[in-house]
Structure 1
Amino acid sequence: MKGYRILIVEDDLMIGELLQQILQQEEYYVRWEKDGREVMEHIHNIDLVIMDVMLPGEDGYQLTKRIKALGLNIPIIFLSARQDMDSKLHGLTMGEDYMIKPFDPRELLLRMQKMLEHQYGTYTQIKQLYIDGEHKRVYHEHLHDEVALTAIERKIFFYLYDHKDRILTKEHFLDYLWQLEDRNHNIINVHIQKIRTKINDINGEIIQNIYGEGYRLNTYMKK
C-alpha cells in the first residue's frame, strides 16, 4: 500500500528534499520537519518516521523517547553518519531500524516496505481504495480515512471482495446474508447504493452492475 503517511525529520536540506521527492514519487504521503518542534503535534497521523539522529534542539533519540512514551506503535528508522557499533546498537534498541549516511534510497524504500507490511499487513488497492481483507476494513487513500460501513454493508462489500471479478447474483447475496423465505431483491440494491456512496463509486466503476445478472467487484482498472 502506497498511501501510508511518512514523517521525515531531517535538518539536512539536500537529504530532506531528496527523501521527500522519492517518497512522493512512490505515492506516499509525506510530511517533512527540519527539527523536532512540531513533530509531536502531528505524530498521531503518521505511519512511519524517518528520523535523523543529530537535530537542532532535541535529537532523534529524545524525540523517539517522547513518541514511544505516548504508547504509539509507530516504526522509526534512524539515519545517522555514526558508523560505530555502539551507535548502531543504541539506534536499533531505540527504534526499529538504523541506516548509515550516505545511503542508497532504494535500500531505504525496501526496508520501509518490509517494515510497513510487517506492522500493518498487506492491502489491495482498487482505484482510490485500500482494502484490508484480513481485518475486513476499507480505506480512502490512506490508513487514517477508514470507510464507515455498517455491519451489513461490510458483509456485502467483503462478500464481493472475496469473489472479486466474479458476478454474484442477488440470490447469492440473499443466501449468504439472510437465508430467509422473504427474499427481497430490492434490499440488495439499496445496500449496494449506500456502499457506492461511501466509497465514492457513484458511477459504479468499482462495484459494477451487470445488467440482468448481478454485481461484480471490478479490479481491472487503472488507479
Structure 2
Amino acid sequence: MRSYNVLLVEDDTAIGDIMQRILKREGYNVCWKTDGTTVLQEIREMDLIIMDVMLPGEDGYQLSKRIKQLGLQIPIIFLSARSDMDSKLQGLTIGEDYMVKPFDPRELLLRMKKMLDYHYGTFTQINHVYIDAERRRVFLMDLQHEVEFTAIERKIFFYLYDNRDRILTKDHFLEHLWQLEDRSPNIVIVHIKNIRAKIQDTEGEVIQNLYGEGYRLNTYKKK
C-alpha cells in the first residue's frame, strides 16, 4: 500500500502535535509547518495538504492560491474555526474540502482517504459517476456520496461495467444473475430503473437503453 506524503500547516502547536501523531499512526508521512514561510519549498513532494486558514503572516487562503498558481494538482483540505457559509464557500472554491474546528479526527481521516483515492486511486469516471471496480463501490460527484445499492443492483451495475460499451439483452441479465424460477424480463427493467435513480442518470447518459436491443453502459466522460 502506498504511503502518502501529507503537508500539515497548523500554527497551533497543541493541535498540530496531536494531528501529526494521529496521521503518522495511520501510516502517513507528515511534514508539519507552523506557517507558510517554507511551504513552497516542500510542496512538490506532497500528495495532500491540510491547511489551517488562520496563520501568522500569509493566511491559508492566500498560501493555497499561490500553490494552485504553480499548476500543482495537490488536493487541499482547509481547517478553520469559521463556520459561516461565506468562509466555507471561499474554502471550497480555492481548495477541495473544508472542515470546521473542532472536528472528529475520524472524519478527517475518512475525508483524506476518499480524496486520496479519488486523486491517486483506481477510480473510473463516467460522467458524474466514480467507479471503484476492485472494491465494487460506486460514488457520485465528489466521492462524498457512495451509492447504496441492494445486492442485486450491485450485481447488475457491475455486470454492465464489466461488459461496458457492449449491448446486453434482457436474456443476458436473466441468464447470468437470476435463478430459473425467478426469471422475468420485467424484473430487469425495474432494477435498472432503480439503479438509474440512485446514480442520478435520469437521461440515460450512463446506462443507455437501446430500444429493442438492450442496455449499454457508456464509458465516455461528460464535458
TM > 0.5 between the two?
yes
CA deviations on 1:49-69 (whole Å, 9 max, x unpaired) are 64126x14536333322x449
Q: Structure 2 counterpart of 1:167, which letter?
A: I
The residue number in structure 1 matching 2:206 is: 206
Cα deviation, residue 221, structure 1: 3.9
Which aligned pairs between 1:1-223 and structure 2 lie closer than 5 A? 50-52=7-9, 55-58=11-14, 60-65=16-21, 67-68=22-23, 73=26, 75=28, 77-78=30-31, 80=33, 105=70, 109=74, 116-117=116-117, 121-180=121-180, 183-223=183-223
**Which runs of 5 or more structure 1 residues have no equivalent in the other structure?**
1-46, 89-94
Any idea what the Cα deviations from partners look like across 1:86-139, whole Å, max 9, x if unmatched?
Answer: xx9xxxxxx9999xx9989556739x9xx9359973101111111100000001
Aligned AA (2:31)? F
Segments ≥4 residues shifted beyond 6 Å: 95-98, 101-104
**TM-score between both structures, scaled by the size of structure 1:** 0.57
Letter in structure 2 aligned against 1:190? V
Report the Cα offset of residue 181 of structure 1: 5.4
- Displacement of 1:205 in angstroms is 1.3
Identify which range, 73-82 or 133-142, moves more after superposition: 73-82
Percent same amino acid at aligned positions?
Answer: 49
1:13-44 deviation per Cα after TM superposition (whole angstroms, max 9, x unaligned):
xxxxxxxxxxxxxxxxxxxxxxxxxxxxxxxx
* SS of match in other structure, 2:208: strand
Give the AA of the match of 2:18: Q
User: 5+ unaligned residues in a row in structure 2: which ranges?
Assistant: 50-62, 76-111
Residues matched between the structures, number: 159
Task: State the Cα distance separating 1:214 from its structure 2 match.
Answer: 0.4
CA contact (8 A) 2:6 2:47 kept: no
CA RMSD of aligned residues (A): 4.1
Aligned in 2, Cα 1:179/1:52: closer, same or farther, shift over 3 Å?
same
With structure 2 as the length reference, what TM-score do the two structures score? 0.57
CA gap of 1:129–1:105, structure 2 versus 1, over 3 A, is: same
Deviation at 1:161, TM superposition (A): 0.6
